[in-house]
């Protein structure tokens, strides 16, 4: 009886405690928002992305003033196991990893071991370039993307590769800058690999060990480490190709500073909160100010509207609608093939949103509505004004603008811009290459002029021409959505009076990769080079290059990310090309597959071997356990042994890529 009474008393006491606790929480909630709208918008937005094929599973966490107020896994992490995404599911976070590099370097700044305005070469003596301007690249320039470095010297894979630092250093020794250090902020992955190297050089520790000791452990980030393919965490999100449904191996990214980490949404919130006014700080006040303050390059402010990338690692450090209210918002996205991440931080309010999805999505477009809903729940912002605008009618183009007619280039192609006969707009037409791989030119896009801007068929996007630092540019505003910023769309090319020529005829030539590892992510396909009669002195091989001499073509698109020159050299009586950190050879005289059995062996040099399918045939393969075999045309991959098996049909003109170790033999049976 006494024991039962005691038990009942404890139960009543427990119930009383819960009720009392609830009353206190209710009292506290008089100053706290109701997050129902935030949660509803998050679920709706994420499910819309999943149901529209942008991904299989996602994770979302929202933090407000140090508390995780919402965290959820949505969708599936592994279809075969019917394993759902939960709060602890790991995703590769791609370039959101760059913020860890930013904080790591600032920790060393706090210790007086690194100075942001000191030359990078001081900390990495092995870092040299043909372009002597490299000596002026400072540590700060690595983080606001203004170093002028060519771009992205690495590859994703299905196993770790410890050579990435050396590959970058070897590549840069023969490279030139796109622009003067500090001139422009153009997205650059290689700068963050150099930052990773600085951390190792100065601290004397492996980069990931430094992150664990100085960032992840102090902030309680228990589910953050290297990429999911390297750690093989059983609770990782798998990647499925949206078009084929094929499941790919877990991705490994061996450039940790640029994009090689994995995490959960909750851990991203813990990291972001360390930069807020009330979060757990690991940086000094001076370094917090540094990471939250814009870091403009010399180009900044020379366009009509704001730009992105002029911050300390972030994509942006403010949003126009929020800036008007005196609220700073910082954002950093991440994209690694098959994974998309976005981190939003409102430091003065202690608000952080972490989001990842296993798919190719616009992370910013998913997190922005969630942020808007949260700010509305917090009564800090009202509904944003609708972006829908009434269509405008054409007006005559001012005479001074017609001088912008000519040939332009973006990161991958060349176009012609011509003003129409009515003088009320212009057209953009992609140039057509000549040669055996000639393609029909894309249909022209038309734009009309009205009140200082040009309008196309994309709602909410406007365009204008300008000249900055001697470069004629076509600028877009409002794309990619939902950024309200000005971005360079095209850069005008110089028409040379005495154009140079390469010693190799590049017209319609097919080039084959020769030093790709068998575990590289993605399908290795032939590349074609082209010349344009309208652009003497230029060559198109994975982007437009300006021919400098018989053996070298440099960067033509100097206002765009991920550009590199090409160097021609002779090897075994054939012309080879060094493109970035990789080697290419021509497809001339490679062995051909006929209706028979063909075997090919990887030689002692470990170079990739290629075969060409002369006539359409059914193919089946025998390959070594660690080998890789890919069948493709210059346009698309048809078969990849990393995900495919069995017979396949290869049309005439297909190419077969074989990668493996020296001595590996590949056998192809054709019928």
Identical fold for domains 38-377 and 592-670, yes or no, is no
Question: Residue 319: what pLDDT?
Answer: 86
**DSSP H/E element including 121:** helix 120-123
Q: Give the 3-state secondary structure of residue 569.
A: strand
Give the pLDDT confidence score for residue 384 in this predicted structure: 64
Residue 653, judged by CB atoms within 10 A of its CB (0-12, 13-18, 19+), counts as middle
Q: Pick the range with the lowest mean pLDDT from 16-30, 92-106, 272-286, 628-642.
A: 16-30
Could you tell me the pLDDT band of residue 589, with boundaries at 50, 70 and 90? confident
Residue 25 has pLDDT above 80, yes or no: no
Containing 104, the helix (H) or strand (E) segment is helix 98-110
User: Phi and psi (nearest 5°) for 4?
Assistant: -65, -40
Of 56, 71, 95, 185, which one is the catalytic site residue? 95
Q: Is the pLDDT of residue 435 over 90?
A: no
Whole-number Å distance between alpha carbons of 526 and 74:
38
Q: Does residue 629 surpass a pLDDT of 90?
A: yes
Partners of residue 586 on adjacent β-strands: 511
Model confidence at 23: pLDDT above 70:
no
Residue 14 has pLDDT above 50, yes or no: no
Output Rg (C-alpha) for the chain, integer angstroms.
Answer: 27
pLDDT digits 0-9 by tens, 270-328: 999 999 988 999 999 999 999 999 999 999 999 999 888 999 999 998 888 898 899 99
Contact residues for 584 (Cβ-Cβ < 8 A; gap 6+)? 511, 512, 513, 514, 527, 576, 577, 578
Q: How confident is the model at residue 24 (pLDDT cuts 50, 70, 90)?
A: very low
Percent of the chain with pLDDT over 90: 84
pLDDT higher than 80, residue 553: yes
Are the C-beta atoms of residues 143 and 109 closer than 8 Å to each other? no
Domain 399-492 -> CATH class: mainly beta
Confidence of residue 1 (pLDDT cuts 50, 70, 90): very low
Cα 34 off chain centre by = 35
19 pLDDT higher than 80: no
Indicate the CATH number for domain 38-377.
3.40.710.10
pLDDT score at 479: 75
Q: CB under 8 Å, gap of 24 or more: what pairs does 281-290 form? A: 282/103, 282/107, 282/214, 282/215, 282/218, 282/219, 283/103, 283/106, 283/107, 283/110, 284/110, 286/110, 287/106, 287/107, 287/109, 287/110, 290/106, 290/109, 290/116
Enumerate residues 6+ apart whose C-beta is below 8 A from 191: 141, 142, 143, 145, 147, 149
Among 38-47, 379-388, 614-623, 644-653, the range scoring the smallest mean pLDDT is 379-388
Give the pLDDT of residue 440.
55
The angle formed by the CA atoms of residues 584, 588 and 591, to the nearest 5 degrees, is: 100
Where does the pLDDT of residue 432 fall: very low under 50, low under 70, confident under 90, or very high at 90 and above? confident
Domain assignments of the chain as residue spans, ordered by start: 38-377, 399-492, 509-586, 592-670
Range in 31-35, 92-96, 191-195, 497-501 the model is least confident about? 31-35
Please say whether the beta carbons of 40 and 47 come within 8 A: no
Pairwise CA distance, residues 530 & 236, whole Å? 43
pLDDT at 612 over 50: yes
Mean pLDDT of 211-215: 98
**pLDDT of 630 above 90:** yes
- The answer to whether residue 95 is catalytic is yes
Range 367-379 burial, b when 16+ CB lie within 10 A, else e: bbbbbbbbbbbbe
- CATH number for 592-670 (one of 2.60.120.380, 2.40.30.10, 3.90.1570.30, 3.10.580.10): it is 2.60.120.380
Check residue 367 and give its pLDDT: 96
17, pLDDT greater than 50: no
145: pLDDT strictly greater than 70: yes
User: Which of 432 and 191 is assigned the larger pLDDT?
Assistant: 191
Residue 27 pLDDT grade (very low, low, confident, very high; cuts 50, 70, 90)? very low
């Amino acid at each position: 009886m006494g024991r039962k009474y005691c038990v009942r008393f404890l139960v009543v006491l427990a119930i009383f405690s819960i009720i009392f606790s609830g009353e206190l929480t209710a009292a506290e909630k008089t100053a706290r928002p109701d997050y129902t709208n935030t949660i509803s918008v998050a679920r709706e937005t994420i499910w819309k992305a999943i149901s529209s094929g942008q991904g299989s599973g996602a994770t979302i966490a929202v933090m407000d003033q140090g508390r995780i107020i919402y965290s959820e896994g949505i969708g599936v992490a592994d279809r075969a196991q019917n394993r759902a995404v939960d709060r602890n599911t790991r995703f590769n976070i791609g370039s959101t990893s760059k913020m860890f590099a930013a904080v790591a370097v600032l920790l060393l700044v706090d210790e007086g071991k690194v100075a942001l305005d000191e030359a990078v070469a001081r900390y990495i003596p092995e870092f040299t370039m043909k372009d002597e301007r490299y000596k002026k690249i400072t540590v700060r320039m690595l983080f606001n993307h203004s170093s002028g470095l060519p771009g992205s010297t690495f590859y994703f894979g299905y196993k770790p590769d410890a050579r990435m630092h050396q590959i970058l250093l070897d590549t840069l020794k023969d490279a030139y800058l796109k622009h003067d250090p500090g001139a422009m902020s153009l997205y650059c992955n290689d700068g963050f690999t150099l930052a990773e190297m600085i951390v190792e050089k100065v601290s004397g520790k492996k980069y990931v060990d430094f992150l664990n000791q100085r960032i992840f452990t102090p902030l309680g980030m228990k589910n953050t480490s290297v990429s999911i393919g390297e750690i093989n965490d059983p609770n990782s999100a798998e990647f499925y190709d949206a078009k084929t449904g094929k499941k790919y191996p877990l991705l490994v990214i061996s450039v940790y500073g640029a994009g090689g980490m994995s995490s959960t949404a909750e851990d991203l919130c813990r990291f972001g909160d360390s930069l807020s006014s009330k979060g757990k700080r690991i940086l000094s006040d001076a370094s917090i100010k540094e990471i939250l303050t814009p870091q403009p390059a010399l180009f900044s402010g020379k366009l009509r509207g704001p730009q992105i990338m002029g911050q300390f690692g972030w994509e942006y450090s403010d949003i126009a609608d929020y800036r008007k209210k005196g609220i700073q918002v910082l954002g950093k996205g991440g994209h690694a093939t098959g994974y998309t991440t976005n981190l939003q931080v409102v430091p003065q309010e202690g608000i952080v949103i972490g989001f990842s999805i296993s798919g190719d999505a616009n992370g910013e477009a998913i997190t922005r509505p969630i942020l808007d809903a949260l700010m509305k729940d917090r009564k800090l912002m009202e509904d944003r004004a609708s972006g829908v605008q009434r269509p405008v009618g054409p007006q005559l183009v001012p005479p001074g603008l017609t001088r912008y007619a000519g040939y332009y280039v973006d990161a991958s192609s060349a176009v012609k811009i011509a003003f129409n006969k009515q003088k009320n707009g212009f057209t953009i037409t992609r140039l057509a290459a000549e040669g055996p791989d000639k393609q029909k030119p894309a249909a022209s896009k038309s734009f009309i002029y009205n009140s200082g801007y040009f309008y196309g068929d994309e709602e909410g996007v406007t365009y204008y021409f300008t000249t900055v630092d001697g470069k004629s540019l076509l600028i877009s505003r409002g794309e990619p959505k939902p950024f309200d910023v000005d971005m360079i769309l095209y850069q005008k090319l110089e028409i040379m009076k005495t154009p140079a020529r390469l010693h190799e005829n590049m017209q319609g030539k097919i080039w084959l990769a020769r030093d790709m590892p068998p575990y590289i992510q993605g399908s290795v396909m032939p590349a074609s080079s082209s010349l344009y009669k309208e652009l003497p002195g230029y060559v198109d091989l994975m982007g437009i290059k300006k021919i400098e001499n018989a053996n070298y073509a440099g960067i033509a698109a100097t206002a765009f990310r991920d550009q590199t020159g090409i160097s021609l050299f002779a090897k075994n009586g054939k012309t080879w090309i060094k493109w970035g950190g990789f080697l290419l050879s021509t497809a001339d005289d490679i062995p051909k597959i006929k209706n028979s059995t063909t075997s090919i062996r990887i030689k002692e040099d470990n170079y990739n071997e290629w075969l060409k399918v002369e006539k359409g045939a059914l193919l089946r393969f025998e390959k070594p356990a660690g080998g890789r075999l890919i069948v493709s045309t210059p346009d698309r991959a048809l078969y990849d042994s990393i995900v495919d098996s069995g017979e396949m049909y290869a049309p005439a003109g297909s190419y077969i890529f074989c990668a493996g170790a020296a001595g590996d033999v590949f056998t192809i049976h054709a019928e």
